[in-house]
Structure 1
Amino acid sequence: MAFLLVGGWSGAVAKDGAPRVVAVLYPETEAPYRQIFAEILDGIQRGATGETVRSYALSEPPDAAGLRQWLDREKPAVTITLGRLATKIYETFGLGVPHVVGALDASPQQMPGRAGVGLAVDPALLFATLKQLAPTKRRVWVVFDPSYDRWLIDLAQQAASSSGLKLEALGARDLRESARQFTSVLQAADPATDAIWLVADARITDSETILPLVVEKSWQRRLLVFSNNLQHIKRGVLFGLFPDNTLLGQRLAELAERALRAPSAPSSIEVLRAVKRAINLKIAAHLDLAIDQALERQFDLVLPVW
């Protein structure tokens, strides 16, 4: 299924003066995920000022032949793929067209040289919110997969140093190692000075085993936990940063514009900076944090106390 979205940017025009086509591929999904992709598409349109943006929704199972025919007909100058399904199928075509990825858990370690935005939130933004809510914190614990998120931890080390924090990063290759590391962290962390950061990696922090463990033990010991997964906040984490889908779409449009201007320029997956903030007031009260109305209004989503 394909439909037309009109938008674009003024910096890239075909030689005959006609706007170039920017193709956006995304999965056809049910609510609430359908709204997420609709907001990203809206952001792509908002970030455009002169090109023609056309989108194609991939059904499940996907019609790869139909998509290829659509691409051959549209002849896009640049393609934006949203989600893992669209990205995986598009890559099999090997078209050589500038390509930007978004709305997937992408890592520059796993996708080197690719332009796009991953789901990993900029650690500097997370640490800034931590210091705003709990300025006495001095140390942050995190469990991560070195084969996937070493790049993110390197960024986090720099951001922690700039924020007056010490980052204790512990590697884990699977959920078994992750459980062992988290058990140690939950015992060793000092509630007065320490916080725990949950990375957006289901291989390390899943919702069935690790998250319940962290939520239960952190509640018992009054440990501050933060994340960049909205579902974690609903389950008992103090705060989190999550995608602002419209602004994410605008950023993807900017990266597509850059790819049109300089298709051979070096590129890399970026951390997510287009974010909203959520806070769980029940957890804040349990941690004896002072959250006045002025501070509360700085968050986009505030979960009720009870």
Structure 2
Amino acid sequence: MTTLLFNARPRPRAPRGASALLSLLLLAGPAPHAMADDLAPATAESAGLLERYDSGGQYGLQPLTVSQLEDQLRRPELQASVGQGGIAVFYPNVSEPFRSAFIGMIQGIEERTRLRVRSYAVDARVDAADLNAQLRRTGTKVVIALGRQGLNTAVALDRDIEVLVGGALLLSDAEIVNLNGISLTPDPALLFARLRTLLPDTRRVIVVYDPKKTEWLLRLAREAARGQGLELASYEARDLSQAAQLYATLFAGADSRRDAVWLPHDTTTVEEGTLLPLILKQAWNSGVPIFSSNVLHVKKGALFAMSPNNVELGRSLANSAEGAIAGERRKGVQPLRELHAAINLRTASHMGLNIGYQQQRTFDLIYPEP
């Protein structure tokens, strides 16, 4: 049997390979070579960009015969994708462990959509004119910008290309108003629901925040607290010194049986170098539970936190991208609901909480690690 060409195909899903092949044929280009390392230094020709077909090194090369090719091209999902354009993904050209997070998001995007996905690793050297030309040439309708660098790159795109942001911490009202997508900040509603499950006697959530960075999140948090029957006691702090003074006063007056302290993504009021250790010490000494939007805080002593489920986030972004192509109205930036949960059993024990085996199974990450 004569082999026509090689098709890069994912192990679990044949339609993705067919879609990649169809796109290549429509572009009348040569058969692609599998890329073992998507994040190798960019060449001069690509002006700081790397194009990755599907999932790069996760794919193997498999011979494709003429009859197999014809069968794949007849698939309904392939016929439906013809003429709809494609999706481009910008992700930061970074090293591990950050690279794996973005690759997980891209995996989710590719798994969910029937459209062709082209992924570009970007850095500050990107040539905007060259990038726009590439996107026009490939019929890109929507760009999913992952991370801060992906977002910074997408700002220079032609206005007729829809941009969705994901995998980035958005910390100002201006960004929230002008963008569309999913923030990396966990939805307060899910954090508060988890708090009520662990500590059903909690009645008040205390939070210190910088209004210049986190006011948009506090608006959501106030509504979420009402939905859980909680009082949200919020206190503004515009610098580290003011935040430190507030925490000392609040912990001294808090009731460990009815109060809990929430640490949002806020670089002013949850500064990692000097302020966070003081917060953790005050919480430990007072017995007042703290929970966080940053999973790394659980390893350091917070009771629980939530972190992104990168693959599921990618799937949600793919749904939004297809909706944008179909003409759905923009929804603004939404908080992250695709989450993993983490708990610190040592902190729980210190507080007198007995987290049984069945309850532990509701958490994806447990610290200290067994």
Aligned residue in 2 for 1:151: 216
Corresponding letter in the other structure for 1:194: D
Of structures 1 and 2, the one with the larger relative CO (CA 8 A, separation 6+) is 1
Q: 1:135 aligns with which of 181, 192, 200?
A: 200
Q: TM-score, normalised by structure 1?
A: 0.91
C-alpha distance in 2, partners of 1:305/1:55? 35
Distance 1:290 1:107, change over 3 A: same
C-alpha distance in 2, partners of 1:58/1:65? 14
C-alpha distance in 2, partners of 1:20/1:65? 20
Is the contact between residue 281 and residue 304 of structure 1 (CA under 8 Å) also seen in structure 2? yes
Partner SS state of residue 164, structure 1: coil
**Which structure: larger Rg?**
2
Aligned residue in 2 for 1:55: 119
Q: TM-score, normalised by structure 2?
A: 0.76
C-alpha distance in 1, partners of 2:291/2:342? 10
Is the contact between residue 107 and residue 118 of structure 1 (CA under 8 Å) also seen in structure 2? no
Corresponding letter in the other structure for 1:238: L
Aligned residue in 1 for 2:34: none
Q: 1:100 aligns with which of 152, 157, 164?
A: 164
Corresponding letter in the other structure for 1:4: Y
Identity %: 35
Per-residue displacement from partner, 1:54-89 (whole Å, max 9, x unpaired)? 110114544545534432432311110001112112
Partner SS state of residue 271, structure 2: coil
C-alpha distance in 2, partners of 1:233/1:210? 16
Partner SS state of residue 92, structure 1: coil
Query: Quick check: 1:293 aligned with 2:357?
Result: yes
Query: Quick check: 1:81 aligned with 2:160?
Result: no
Q: Please, which moves more after superposition, 180-189 or 115-124? A: 180-189
Partner SS state of residue 93, structure 1: coil
The 5 Å alignment of 1:1-306 reads 1-5=50-54, 17-48=82-113, 50-59=114-123, 61-64=125-128, 66-107=130-171, 109-111=173-175, 112-262=177-327, 265-304=329-368
Aligned residue in 1 for 2:45: none
C-alpha distance in 2, partners of 1:300/1:126? 14
Is the contact between residue 213 and residue 266 of structure 2 (CA under 8 Å) also seen in structure 1? no
Is the contact between residue 167 and residue 183 of structure 2 (CA under 8 Å) also seen in structure 1? yes
C-alpha distance in 1, partners of 2:171/2:323? 20
Is the contact between residue 3 and residue 55 of structure 1 (CA under 8 Å) also seen in structure 2? yes
Per-residue displacement from partner, 1:86-144 (whole Å, max 9, x unpaired)? 21122123433111001111257122142101122111111111111111111110011
C-alpha distance in 2, partners of 1:31/1:286? 34
Is the contact between residue 209 and residue 234 of structure 2 (CA under 8 Å) also seen in structure 1? yes
Corresponding letter in the other structure for 2:54: L
Per-residue displacement from partner, 1:139-188 (whole Å, max 9, x unpaired)? 11001122332222122112212212111011122323222222222222
Offset at residue 4 of structure 1 (A): 1.4
Partner SS state of residue 193, structure 2: helix
Partner SS state of residue 160, structure 2: coil
Is the contact between residue 12 and residue 261 of structure 1 (CA under 8 Å) also seen in structure 2? no
Q: Please, which moves more after superposition, 174-183 or 22-31? A: 174-183
Corresponding letter in the other structure for 2:51: A
Offset at residue 223 of structure 1 (A): 1.3
C-alpha distance in 2, partners of 1:55/1:266? 23
Is the contact between residue 208 and residue 234 of structure 2 (CA under 8 Å) also seen in structure 1? yes
Aligned length: 300
C-alpha distance in 1, partners of 2:79/2:216? 32
Corresponding letter in the other structure for 2:88: A
C-alpha distance in 2, partners of 1:249/1:72? 23
C-alpha distance in 2, partners of 1:139/1:224? 11
Is the contact between residue 113 and residue 266 of structure 1 (CA under 8 Å) also seen in structure 2? no
Per-residue displacement from partner, 1:7-40 (whole Å, max 9, x unpaired)? xx969967xx434110100111111111101100
C-alpha distance in 2, partners of 1:220/1:185? 13
Per-residue displacement from partner, 1:261-292 (whole Å, max 9, x unpaired)? 126x2421001100010000010011111200
Is the contact between residue 12 and residue 260 of structure 1 (CA under 8 Å) also seen in structure 2? no
Partner SS state of residue 2, structure 1: strand
C-alpha distance in 2, partners of 1:11/1:156? 42
